[in-house]
Amino acid sequence: MSDHHFYEPKDGHAGIPGLRHDPLNAIIAPRPIGWISTLAEDGTRNLAPYSFFNLFNYRPPIIGFSSMGWKDSAANITATGEFVWNLVTRDLGDAMNASAATVGPEVDEFDLATLATAPARLVKPPRVASSPVAFECRHTQTLRLTTKEGDALDQWMILGEVIGIHIAPNLIADGAYQTAAAHPILRGGGPSDYFEIGEDALFKMRRPG
């Protein structure tokens, strides 16, 4: 007999003794942050972080994020076909958090978070100037998520091909990108948990064969 707690998500987690908060986000964690910059059709700048984000293909590189609700990022990317992903580092954590505020589409989150912009090379949305890594992307697909019964959810997965990559030179050593050198942060569980990647967390393991 298993000594594990068990529950069915459709019934909620309240049946687990002492578990007041949904554990899902804390279990699937830490997660990379999709800090996405876009432009509306009228040129209004938008910047928003998404914790459902990852890389899905090497060649060509495809990244994507999932939006809970049809938010400004999804609308802007659908309209213009372009976006930029910006790496969130520890020193940019407060600015990233500020850009997560629930505001109207007319609000420029770069101004809200007091962030300078830098131009992209191949797309129109700007980069976060102080971010050491940025991916310029062209939209490839939008997938509306469904339940197992096929019912449509108000959850939208936006995918894009990376067509340009910016990397600060200090993050490259011995011909390789140094992940921990950027001090990236990742989303954990609950309302406020984040993790920073540091050298002390590194271990190496090669795949067999």
135-173 residue pLDDT tens: 999 999 999 999 999 999 999 999 999 999 999 999 999
Q: C-alpha 70: how far from its chain's center? A: 16
Please state, in angstroms and as integers, the Cα–Cα distance from residue 148 to each residue in 24, 60, 151, 162, 198, following that order.
18, 30, 7, 31, 39
Res. 15 pLDDT band, cuts 50 70 90: confident
Sign of the four-CA dihedral 126, 130, 136, 141:
negative
Please state, in angstroms and as integers, the Cα–Cα distance from residue 1 to each residue in 5, 6, 30, 37, 208, following that order.
11, 12, 30, 50, 33
The H or E element that residue 140 is part of is: strand 133-146
For domain 21-198, the CATH superfamily is: Electron Transport, Fmn-binding Protein; Chain A (2.30.110.10)
The H or E element that residue 168 is part of is: none
Is the pLDDT reported for residue 3 higher than 90? no
The C-alpha atoms of residue 85 and residue 125 are separated, in whole angstroms, by 10
Contact between 73 and 55 under an 8 Å Cβ cutoff? The reply is no
The C-alpha atoms of residue 139 and residue 132 are separated, in whole angstroms, by 22
Res. 7 pLDDT band, cuts 50 70 90: confident
pLDDT at 5: 86
The residues pairing with 136 across neighbouring beta strands, listed in sequence order, are 84, 164
Kindly calculate the radius of gyration of the chain based on its CA atoms and give it in whole angstroms. Answer: 19
- The pTM for the full model equals 0.94
The residues pairing with 172 across neighbouring beta strands, listed in sequence order, are 177
The closest of 115, 97, 90 to 197, measured between CA atoms, is 90
Res. 107 pLDDT band, cuts 50 70 90: very high
Percent of the chain with pLDDT over 70: 99
The residues, ordered by sequence, that sit 6+ positions from 15 with a Cβ below 8 Å of its Cβ are 7
